[in-house]
Amino acid sequence: MSCKIAAVIQARTGSTRCPGKVFRKLAGIAMIEHIIKRVQQVPAFDRIVLAVPDSPAEDGLVAVARGMGIDSIKGPEEDVLRRFVMAGESVGAGHILRVCSDSPLIDLELMASLAQTHLEQNADLTVPTGEIPIGTGTEMVKFSALREISAIADKKPYREHVTAFFYDHPGQYSIVCVSPPAYLQGKKFRLTVDTDLDLLLMEKIYSQFFDPSGPVANLPRIVSYLESHPEIADLNADVPQKDWRLEK
């Protein structure tokens, strides 16, 4: 069993700043389901794997994966890097798209562009360039490079933040940058869910832009709306973003 690209979604029910956020409802649907649906819209991914901690508390997430027709694996809660390696091995992945479970507006066009460029350039890591809204982007990783890093990286930040080792050792790996879609470039909106204020903004967005008759909310329209309604975008503008570099 093997696949060219697997999208791996890291998720857990525990969260220090917003417990249980993966199951919080946006337009009546759990946030984790919105994320899975968005990834399912991108044909580039042969398999989707939900990677969760090895705990009975995560059985609900496993059930969601099963119900939506995707794979799941359980692995160490704090060693997220190991969890990704387990996910890649479970489906024989050649490459992995990393998806966070706090990103219910991850961009479809950018995911597809990252996957295409990553394969064309045979890169170890492929990332968006420039500033885009937090929560809309992600990264592509060559699985053999990820497995190599997992074998040698021993610092806690490298185990918790899957691609951190690449950024600290750029000369050892082929890192390719991709220009994001124009509607994301230079936008400073915070479209991740890590606090109650983030969730409040996302609830407002989904109540206005999610149509149950369609698969996913339209991100270009959402960005345009936030540009013309700064009072909405500012709801979570002051929430600090956690930085793994400060953990070293």
pLDDT per position as a tens digit, 150-172: 999 999 999 999 999 999 999 99
- Residue 244: the pLDDT is 46
Q: What is the pLDDT of residue 248?
A: 46
pLDDT tens-digit series, residues 206-245: 999 999 898 899 999 999 999 999 999 999 999 987 654 4
CB 123 within 8 A of CB 38: no
pTM passes above 0.85: yes
Q: Are 5 and 46 in contact (CB under 8 A)?
A: yes
Q: CA–CA separation, 197 vs 174, rounded Å?
A: 37
pLDDT at position 2 = 77
Q: What is the DSSP letter of 198?
A: H
Closest by CA to 3, choosing from 37, 39, 50, 45, is 45
DSSP string, 95-157: EEEEEETT-TT--HHHHHHHHHHHHHHT-SEEEE-S---BTS--EEEEHHHHHHHHHH--SHH
Give the domain ranges of the chain. Answer: 3-241
What is the pLDDT at residue 242? Answer: 67
Question: What's the average model confidence in pLDDT over 96-120?
Answer: 97
Least confident of 13-17, 44-48, 54-58, 235-239: 13-17
Q: What is the pLDDT of residue 14?
A: 75
For residues 37-57, one letter each, b for 16 or more C-beta atoms within 10 angstroms of the residue's C-beta and e for the rest, the string is: ebbbebebbbbbbbbbbeeee
pLDDT in tens, 178-188: 999 999 999 99
Give the C-alpha separation, 57 to 102, whole Å.
18
Indicate if the pLDDT at residue 110 is higher than 80.
yes
pLDDT band at 19 (very low <50, low <70, confident <90, very high): confident
* Nearest-angstrom CA–CA distance, 152 and 19: 32
The band of 33, judged by pLDDT with boundaries at 50, 70 and 90, is: very high
Percentage of the chain modeled with pLDDT above 70: 95
Mean pLDDT for 14-40 is 90
Q: What is the pLDDT of residue 237?
A: 93
Given the candidates 3.40.605.10, 3.90.550.10, 3.30.2090.10, 3.40.50.720, the CATH classification of the domain at 3-241 is 3.90.550.10
